[in-house]
Amino acid sequence: MLSKKSKYAIKALVALAKHSKHGEPMRIVEISEQEKIPKKFLEAILLDLRKHGILGSKMGINGGYYLVKKPEQIFLTEIIRLTDGPIAMIPCASLNFYEKCDDCEDETVCGLRKVMTELRTASLAVLSANSIADIIKKETKLINSKNRK
């Protein structure tokens, strides 16, 4: 399961992407209220995203957070790996967070690892195909098809 942290991070980035057509920073409180994310928790999340170069911030009046990268270039893989860690379901099947199982004699011959590697490949295909911009696109698409009814 995705942690709330990851989910909130994605939602905040979507909110920022929608807002940043204006180019100006968005306040934590605004994001918090709009997306119903606990303010102080969101604070920590945004700080994290800033430290990793996805967001920038400005203090004082008219301050807030803004996107550094374009919504088209922020993929779900990046956010999830940053906030939750590995995409794979077991460490020995992970690309970026590989770890050896201490209960496994020879992983090159492990059937479970083989299946979990297949799963990781499938998951990565979906997550690396979707950026923040794609999420917004899907949203407008869903709204349109709903209104047509």
Q: Enumerate binding residues for DNA (CB under 7 A).
A: 3-5, 25, 27-29, 38-41, 43-44, 46-47, 50, 57-65, 84
* Among candidate residues 8, 2, 19, 1, the one with its CA nearest the CA of residue 136: 19
User: One symbol per residue from 18 to 37: x for binding its own copies (CB under 8 A), - otherwise; what is it?
Assistant: -----------------xxx
**Between 37 and 74, CB nearer to DNA:** 37
What secondary structure does DSSP assign to 97-147, as a single string?
S----TT-S-GGG-HHHHHHHHHHHHHHHHHTT-BHHHHHHHHHHHHHHHH
d(CA 76, CA 135): 10
Tell whether residue 123 is a contact of its own copies (CB under 8 A): yes
The CB-of-1 to DNA minimum distance in angstroms stands at 8
Site for its own copies in 75-104 (CB under 8 A): 76, 85-86, 88-91, 102-103
- Tokens in use for 82? 């940053």
**Residue 116 touches which member of DNA, its own copies, none, C-beta under 5-8 Å by kind:** its own copies
Tell whether residue 59 is a contact of its own copies (CB under 8 A): no
Cα 71 to chain centroid, rounded: 11
d(CA 120, CA 108): 16
Beta strand ranges found along 40-115 (DSSP E): 55-58, 64-67
Phi and psi torsions of 58, nearest 5°: -140, 130
**Between 26 and 87, CB nearer to its own copies:** 87
Residues that bind its own copies (CB under 8 A): 1-2, 7, 10-11, 14, 35-37, 76, 85-86, 88-91, 102-103, 108-112, 114-116, 118-119, 122-123, 125-127, 130, 134-139, 142-143, 146
